[in-house]
Structure 1
Amino acid sequence: MKKKVAVLLGGNSTERKISIASGYAILQSLIRSGINAYPFDTRDFPIMQLKQQQFNIAYIALHGKGGEDGSIQGILEYLNIPYTGSGIMASSISLDKKKTKLLWKSVGLPVLPDIYIEKKDLLKNSDAFLIKKSDKLEYPLLVKPNNQGSSIGITLVYFKDQLKNAIEIAFNYSNNILVEKFVKGKEYTVSILGEEILPSIQIITKNNFYDYSSKYELSSTKYLCPSGLNLKQEKKLKKIVKKAWSTLGCNGCGRIDVILDNNNKFWLLEINTIPGMTHRSLLPISANTIGISFDELVLKILNKTIILNS
């Protein structure tokens, strides 16, 4: 019997718009490849309907909360429907920036110093206390929600008097936030496909860092693949990425962002377990440089799930 594939897209997260773009690109690709695939917007339809509608497999194109945090994975496990990407635990940890960094740090991987602030800290302490707490780090600082993707809610802070506002913005998106040392350097992203580490991409943006507008709004952002790293650096970066990926127990495909500082040291920034999948997304760009077309990539991700569950 021909498998019936549900492409899960949309949802309720702040990344809904991006998820819809990824989801429909995947859907059209699957249909081109002769797969019996249908869109399924988790905002508009109860996920329990997947079983009633006799779907055999779920292709997850949901970004952020409700897609990458382990919750949808938990429901699919309960329904006994195989799905693409990482499992419950790896997804849940990966969307939590602080937990991810703690695990990476525990195995000796390079992560930037940070301060973790919970919403309850705000109730117990004054703004002055939180600002003083952040003084342990050198400015400039990045203030970011702990469990958001697509650089949503992130502010780059150069001076102490900007910190209060940045903290308030981040708390609009998450109950916990990270205040992290900002390092100026070259930004790279490395995609993973199964066991394979794909070629790195250098991200060149006119903004101070690879923020939301650099990702989705500015046409001036450039992606270099090959990235310009020499063989030794590329090898070192692959080794770091492989260890970072396996430490979190991730599966399927994903992307890890890093920065190379002016002292030639790599720092891990964050991980994305359900990367964007439009034609201008970074995972397809990287796969394309080693001869994997968009349609082949989409099928490879699907087939890994079928093989794992056969």
Structure 2
Amino acid sequence: MAKRVAVLMGGPSAEREVSLTSGAACAAAIRELGHEVVEIDPRLGEQGLVALVQALTPKPDVVFNALHGRWGEDGCVQGLLDLLGVPYTHSGLLASAVAMDKPMAKQVFESAGLQVPGGLTVSCAELSAGDPLARPYVAKPLNEGSSVGVRIVREGDNRAPLDPKSWGFGERILVEPFIAGHELTVGVMGDRPLAVTELRPHQGFYDYEAKYTEGRTEHLVPAPVPPKIYEAALEAAATAHRALGCRGVSRADFRWTPEEGEAGLYILEVNTQPGMTPLSLVPEQAQHLGMTFSELVGWMLEHAACD
């Protein structure tokens, strides 16, 4: 039966452009499935919230949430949709909020028996005053996605770890030891881990540009890692999905140090609303398993829910 589907896309976060691309691809797939689509680009602030509520009136049958980053992925929009009683794709308010808060998510992963990098949170002033950890280490915002703001501080770098004047991601910063090795990622669909992809940027690390610029990163699916590591990554992604209370589709990111075997597999974070762009990883893994992009989007609509 045809449904009226509102696709939330764009929004005010640092990942706005990626969200617009994801939203456009999902809207096209939803139309292909025979549903009516209303595309909504919500804005930040009181008037933006009013406009969003107005755009969702009359209530759609379901919301496809293609927003990325803060406000759209951290529980804020999820809470509004819960109040309105509108089913939506991806995780609910609590799972979204906890996953987006990287230090809190690490505590959840550790309690579930997963291995995470060590580290601590520091202030901008503390980081700009000197190294809180031995180099190399990673400094990242507490609640951004798509590697926005992530910096690797290496031995021999001439610049200071942080310039407080140019840092625009909050007063507190997560600092973790740099985990050498392979970049792995696993999509989870419901209670099923999909596949393991290894990501090999042609230069630098897997940052925002490497994620969303065609030709910058090689995607190897299935990842050419030992079978034990492959299975361990699948299991760890499913465990993290359950531990956070995720629903729908999520994606877990890992670093693996081969010299340490299974003990070298570290979970970094879970993305509760992974990208749905032409270069995105979950659609690629679904295709590897024989599922088309439209079928994936249709499954997500069927499993939309409201807390």
TM-score, with length taken from structure 1:
0.90
Amino acid aligned to 1:194: G
The answer to which of 11-20 and 206-215 deviates more is 206-215
Partner of 1:97: 102
- Judge conservation of contact 1:254–1:274 (CA < 8 Å) in 2: yes
Alignment of 1:37-56 (within 5 A): 37-43=37-43, 46-56=51-61
The answer to which of 175-184 and 65-74 deviates more is 175-184
Partners of 1:109 and 1:54 lie apart in 2 by: 40
- After superposition, the C-alpha distances for 1:114-140 in whole angstroms (9 at most, x for unaligned) are 120246xx3xx6953xx25x1xx3310
- Judge conservation of contact 2:128–2:164 (CA < 8 Å) in 1: no
Check 1:169–1:190 CA distance in 2 against 1; reply closer, same or farther (3 A cut).
Answer: farther
Partner of 2:68: 63
Check 1:278–1:146 CA distance in 2 against 1; reply closer, same or farther (3 A cut).
Answer: same
| Shift, 1:208, TM fit | 3.5
Partners of 1:93 and 1:289 lie apart in 2 by: 30
Q: Secondary structure at the match of 1:52?
A: coil
| Shift, 1:170, TM fit | 8.1
Is 1:244 aligned with 2:249? no
Partner of 1:299: 298
Q: Secondary structure at the match of 1:168?
A: coil
Q: Secondary structure at the match of 1:244?
A: helix
- Judge conservation of contact 1:153–1:170 (CA < 8 Å) in 2: no
- After superposition, the C-alpha distances for 1:273-300 in whole angstroms (9 at most, x for unaligned) are 1111022210000000110000000001
Check 1:260–1:148 CA distance in 2 against 1; reply closer, same or farther (3 A cut).
Answer: same
- Judge conservation of contact 2:202–2:218 (CA < 8 Å) in 1: no
Partners of 1:166 and 1:182 lie apart in 2 by: 16
Q: Secondary structure at the match of 1:48?
A: helix
- Judge conservation of contact 2:120–2:174 (CA < 8 Å) in 1: yes
| Shift, 1:82, TM fit | 0.7
- Judge conservation of contact 1:96–1:146 (CA < 8 Å) in 2: yes
- Judge conservation of contact 2:61–2:86 (CA < 8 Å) in 1: yes
Q: Secondary structure at the match of 1:11?
A: coil
Partner of 1:21: 21
- Judge conservation of contact 2:183–2:200 (CA < 8 Å) in 1: yes
Q: Secondary structure at the match of 1:42?
A: coil
- After superposition, the C-alpha distances for 1:225-279 in whole angstroms (9 at most, x for unaligned) are 1111232222111111111111111110011100111322200011111111022
Partner of 1:74: 79
TM-align CA RMSD: 2.1
Structure 2, unaligned stretches of length 5 or more? none
Identity of aligned residues (%): 35
Query: Among residues 184, 205, 211, which one is paired with 1:209 in the alignment?
Result: 205
Alignment size in residue pairs: 298
Is 1:233 aligned with 2:232? no
Partners of 1:143 and 1:170 lie apart in 2 by: 14
Partners of 1:25 and 1:141 lie apart in 2 by: 36
Check 1:56–1:101 CA distance in 2 against 1; reply closer, same or farther (3 A cut).
Answer: same
- Judge conservation of contact 1:202–1:228 (CA < 8 Å) in 2: yes
Alignment of 1:138-287 (within 5 A): 138-159=134-155, 164-166=160-162, 168=164, 171-217=167-213, 219-262=215-258, 263-264=260-261, 265-287=264-286
TM-score, with length taken from structure 2:
0.91
Partners of 1:282 and 1:236 lie apart in 2 by: 19
- Judge conservation of contact 1:198–1:287 (CA < 8 Å) in 2: yes
Check 1:55–1:167 CA distance in 2 against 1; reply closer, same or farther (3 A cut).
Answer: same
- Judge conservation of contact 1:30–1:37 (CA < 8 Å) in 2: yes
